[in-house]
Amino acid sequence: MKRLVLYGLIPLLFIIGCAKAPITGRTQIMMVSPQQEQALGFQAEQEILKKEKLSTDQALIARIERVGIRIAKATGLNLDWKFYVIDKPDVPNAFCLANGHVFVYTGILKYVDNDAQLATVMAHEIGHAIAHHVAEQVSLAMMTNLAATAAAIAIDSNVDSSGERAAYMAALGLGANLGIVLPYSRMMESEADHIGLMLMAKACYDPRESIKFWEKFARKGEEPIVYFSTHPSSEQRIAQIKELMPQAMKIYRENGCDQQATPEPLQLPTMKSVNPDSLGLPVE
Ligand SMILES: [Zn+2]
């Protein structure tokens, strides 16, 4: 057993450094450099663009860009922000790569009633990216693999019966998945919810709309049992968002967002004195 613990420490020798997630301030262990993460993102982007069809709906593209740019500005990060709309009505998905390139699948739009709900999705995905969750996941996989290999060597040399050895090895694989990888993913999901909520509030999108979106999204189908899932249950997700809501509303109100019916200061600088309804603008 002692030997097993020692082998488990091997990955520590390869750690590149520690990082801190934005907004939550959580300490992260990284074995992947930001350059490597960017390269992974670039590779993924080429693959996606090769096989997916981009939407040609100009009004929709403009809407995704309008919401995305506001969230991107709220991050305060000068990434190479880019927004793609993938024409796939049956896929309710969205994600953001490490380089700030965001993909929204048209299938998500049927769960979105207004721009604030669209901002909920996009801010969550941007939250994953700015917290470098991909780099952290890869780091974790590297550590888990190294630890599993080390443990396997230890089991091999310490366990005599071959049946017992096989059982240990099987438990090791399942244990690593259920015990480390999945809870870690659930934690990252909760963190992306946390970061996303604050970003949308900072971008002047009503954070209360996020609860409506997640409730609607939860009703879309069978929910996986939380223990075996990479995602927190909708109940847990909504409970956390409700807990964080006073903090988000504080940011929203401090920016004067609750005073504006349609806050689009960049495109419409003279909006404040005009009734937005008379302009036929999209309602938030
Ligand atoms: Zn997520």
Q: What is the mean pLDDT of residues 191-219?
A: 94
CATH number at residue 123: 3.30.2010.10
Measure 192 CA to ligand 1 centroid, in angstroms. Answer: 6
DSSP conformational letter for 54 = B
Confidence band (pLDDT; 50, 70, 90) for 31? confident
Half-sphere exposure (CA, 13 Å, Cβ side) for 32? 21
User: Which residue is it, tokens 């996941």?
Assistant: 137
Cβ-Cβ contacts under 8 Å for 155 (sequence gap 6 or more): 4, 165, 168, 169, 172
pLDDT in tens, 151-172: 667 666 666 666 666 665 665 5
pLDDT for 36 equals 85
| Ligand 1 centre distance from Cα of residue 125 (Å) | 6
- What is the CA(233)–ligand 1 centre distance, in A? 12
Q: Tell me if 46 is assigned to some domain.
A: yes
Give a yes or no: residue 284 inside a domain.
no
Compute the CA torsion angle 182, 15, 149, 98 (nearest 10 deg).
40
133 occurs within a structural domain: yes
Return the half-sphere exposure (C-beta side, CA atoms, 13 A cut-off) of residue 223.
Answer: 16
For residue 219, the SS3 value is: coil
* Overall number of domains in the chain: 1
Asked if 211 contacts 238 with a C-beta cutoff of 8 angstroms, the reply is yes
* Ligand 1 centroid distance, CA of 238 (Å): 14
Summarize the confidence of residues 187-193 as an average pLDDT.
93
Would you call 47 a catalytic residue per the annotation? no
Rounded Cα distance, 124 and 130, in Å = 10
Could you tell me which of 2, 3, 4 has the C-alpha nearest to residue 172?
4
Residue in the block written with tokens 């909504």:
238
Q: Which residue has the higher pLDDT, 88 or 6?
A: 88
Question: What is the mean pLDDT of the segment spanning 114-142?
Answer: 91
- Is position 155 within any domain? yes
Tell me the β-bridge partners of 101.
Answer: 82
User: One of 125, 189, 191, 284 is an active-site residue; which one?
Assistant: 125
Does residue 60 fall inside a structural domain?
A: yes
CA of 143 to the centre of ligand 1 (A): 22
Range of the structural domain that residue 128 is part of = 2-181
Between 234 and 1, residue with greater pLDDT: 234
Residue 130 confidence (pLDDT) above 90? yes
Angle at 165 between CA 163 and CA 169, to 5 degrees: 120
CA distance 95 to 84: 10
pLDDT band for position 5 (50/70/90)?
Answer: very low
Distance 214 CA to ligand 1 centre (A): 12
Distance CA 163, CA 179 (A): 23
Give the Cα separation of 74 and 14 in Å (integer). 34
- Please check whether residue 83 lies inside any domain of the structure: yes
136 part of a folded domain: yes
Give the C-alpha separation, 153 to 3, whole Å. Answer: 10
Distance of CA 29 to the CA centre of its chain: 18
Pairwise CA distance, residues 87 & 50, whole Å: 13
Which range among 42-51, 53-62, 150-159, 267-276 shows the weakest confidence by mean pLDDT?
Answer: 267-276
Q: What is the pLDDT of residue 27?
A: 86
Q: Which residue has the higher pLDDT, 284 or 139?
A: 139
Q: For residues 81 and 96, what is the distance between their CA atoms, to the nearest angstrom?
A: 10
Give CA–CA dist 281/267, Å, rounded: 12
| 230 vs 38: which has the higher pLDDT | 38
In a domain, 256, yes or no: no
